[in-house]
Structure 1
Amino acid sequence: MRSPAESRLANQVALVRAKRLAAGYVPDQMWGSAVRKRWPFRLMCEMSCGPGWHDLVVALNELLDVEADETFRFTQIKEKFGQLRCYWTGAYPSSRIDQLVEAAEEISASMCETCGADAKMRQTRPGGYIYTACDEHARAGSDIIRVKTEKIPTRLGRIRMTRTESGDE
């Protein structure tokens, strides 16, 4: 069951995708440069994730236009353990920013990092590389897995405890 923030973000992702497809834009490996032009201050950071998450990152930033103030900026956007990871700094006006960032991270776990299609978390071999891919972009010999992530709040921010389990397929 999705949280209200996940539902809100998922709807925004669908809107961003529809606009992108209508414009005929297909993100490539350099998609981050185009997105940076729209939010130059907010995205003065490393962005190391695949083009399949373009719509998710754009949708997140569109919602942050409403929620965040001008001091908000990302310090890093990347793939880690098969999911989007967003690190940020700035004024903390509400927990809605955290909720939106966490929603993006959760949604990425079911979105192919290569093409944006519905996907599953996979692992190259027991103890190997964890990634999210659709059947078309899955690496040969990969197993479908479930990743359990527990977010633990601390004084310095939140930390994640991550473990994997065999998938149900």
Structure 2
Amino acid sequence: MAQDRDWRTEFMLSHTRLFDVVPDEPERSFGYPRCEAGWRDILDRLCFRIQSALKENEKFEFVRIKEKFGVLRIDWNGELSDETATSIHEAVNLATARSACTCDLCGAEGRLYSDDGWLATSCSEHAAGEAVAVRSGFENVRVMRRRPGSPDMYQARYDRETDSLIEVSSPSPDPEQ
């Protein structure tokens, strides 16, 4: 039975090159977003970046979009050049980092909270539980992979103003430094 379209269905239908939507049961489609509406702008930006990176004969499909441990988790498949795969990987890293400081309910600036072991990124208005402590100077810093499947890792801070990642040095092992 067809159901009323929600933001997730509208979102997928607005990016048809990236989703294969199951008629009458869009929630059964690969990539159906299992997150709240506060992250829709993040997902729209991600899709525009992916569409810009794709070349004419390349194929891309989201496998899974969900919230896990308070941030977006995005899995995808594609028949892509190495250059395009790297661009998409960077776009996914950016979306993940942005989700880590964006309220999943309203899209405002947020932070990670723990409510009896359940993690969520929320603004102060929607927060439940206690804010998760972050070492001073490492707010909005994420550990990421440089290329798909690469063991080369780096740390980057998400800058909301420029919607970009800025590589940062590893923290000193001595908390006093």
> Contact 1:123–1:145 at 8 Å: present in 2 too?
no
| Structure 1 residues 7-54: Cα deviation after superposition (integer angstroms, max 9, x where no partner) | xxxxxxxxxxxxxxxxxxxxxx93111111112351342310010001
Partner of 2:77: 89
Please report how far the alpha carbon of residue 153 of structure 1 lies from its aligned counterpart in structure 2 after TM superposition.
8.1
Q: State how many pairs are aligned.
A: 128
> Contact 1:122–1:132 at 8 Å: present in 2 too?
yes
Residues of 1 paired with 2:142 and 2:37: CA distance?
A: 24
> Contact 1:117–1:134 at 8 Å: present in 2 too?
yes
Please report how far the alpha carbon of residue 158 of structure 1 lies from its aligned counterpart in structure 2 after TM superposition.
6.6
Over 3 Å counting, the alpha-carbon distance change for 1:114 and 1:39 in structure 2 is same
Q: Does 1:135 align with 2:124?
A: yes
Q: Aligned with 2:98: secondary structure?
A: helix
State the identity as a percent.
28
Which blocks of at least 5 consecutive residues in structure 1 are unaligned? Answer: 1-28, 161-169
> Contact 2:19–2:61 at 8 Å: present in 1 too?
yes
Q: Which moved more, 1:65-74 or 1:128-137?
A: 65-74
RMSD value over aligned CA atoms? Answer: 2.7
Partner of 1:26: none
Give, as a single letter, the amino acid of the residue that structure 2 aligns with 1:74: F
Q: Aligned with 2:132: secondary structure?
A: strand
Q: Which moved more, 1:55-64 or 1:143-152?
A: 143-152
The correspondence of residues 21-100 of structure 1 with structure 2, limited to 5 A, is 30-44=6-20, 45=30, 46-69=32-55, 70-93=58-81, 94=83, 95-100=86-91
Partner of 2:105: 114
Which blocks of at least 5 consecutive residues in structure 2 are unaligned? Answer: 21-29, 135-139, 154-177
TM-score, normalized by length of structure 2? 0.63
Structure with the greater alpha carbon radius of gyration: 2
Please report how far the alpha carbon of residue 102 of structure 1 lies from its aligned counterpart in structure 2 after TM superposition.
0.7
Partner of 1:165: none
Over 3 Å counting, the alpha-carbon distance change for 1:74 and 1:115 in structure 2 is same
More helix by share: 1
Give, as a single letter, the amino acid of the residue that structure 2 aligns with 1:135: S
Residues of 2 paired with 1:66 and 1:123: CA distance?
A: 36
> Contact 1:151–1:158 at 8 Å: present in 2 too?
no
| Structure 1 residues 135-165: Cα deviation after superposition (integer angstroms, max 9, x where no partner) | 00001x32333497544689x94799xxxxx
Please report how far the alpha carbon of residue 91 of structure 1 lies from its aligned counterpart in structure 2 after TM superposition.
2.0
Greater RCO, CA 8 A, separation 6+: 1
Q: Aligned with 1:114: secondary structure?
A: coil
Residues of 2 paired with 1:116 and 1:41: CA distance?
A: 25
